[in-house]
Amino acid sequence: MADRPGVVRLIPRYGCSVSSFETVEHRDGRVGELLQRRRLHLVLWIILIEGILVLFDVVPWWTVLLFAALAFAAYVIAGRGNSNAVVREVTWIAAVSQLVVVLVPVLAVLLTTLAVIALVLVAVGVLVLLLFDRR
- Domain assignment present for residue 58? The answer is yes
Q: Give the separation between CA 24 and CA 102, rounded to whole angstroms.
A: 41
45 falls within a domain: yes
Classify residue 75 by burial, with Cβ atoms within 10 Å: 0-12, 13-18, 19+. buried
Question: For residue 115, is it within any domain?
Answer: no
Examine residue 38 and state whether it is found in any structural domain, yes or no: yes
Percent of the chain with pLDDT over 90: 45
The pLDDT tens digits for 60-103 are: 988 999 999 999 999 999 888 888 888 888 999 999 999 999 99
C-beta separation of 109 from 71 below 8 A: no
Give the ranges where the chain is alpha helix by DSSP (H).
30-55, 61-74, 85-131
* Distances in whole angstroms, Cα of residue 45 to Cα of each of 53, 82, 97, 111, 112: 12, 25, 9, 21, 23
Question: Which has the higher per-residue pLDDT, 59 or 13?
Answer: 59
The span from the CA of 41 to the CA of 51, in Å, is 15
Task: Quote the pLDDT of residue 96.
Answer: 93
Domain span at 87: 31-104
| pLDDT of amino acid 37 | 83
Residue 41 clears pLDDT 50, i.e. is over it: yes
Residue 116 resides in a domain: no
- Count of structural domains, the chain: 1
The answer to whether residue 64 sits within a structural domain is: yes
73 located within any domain: yes
Helices 30-55 and 85-131: angle between axes, nearest 10 degrees: 30
Is 130 within a domain?
Answer: no
Ramachandran category for residue 57: left, alpha or beta (phi over 0 → left; psi -120 to 50 → alpha): left
Longest dimension (CA), the chain: 107
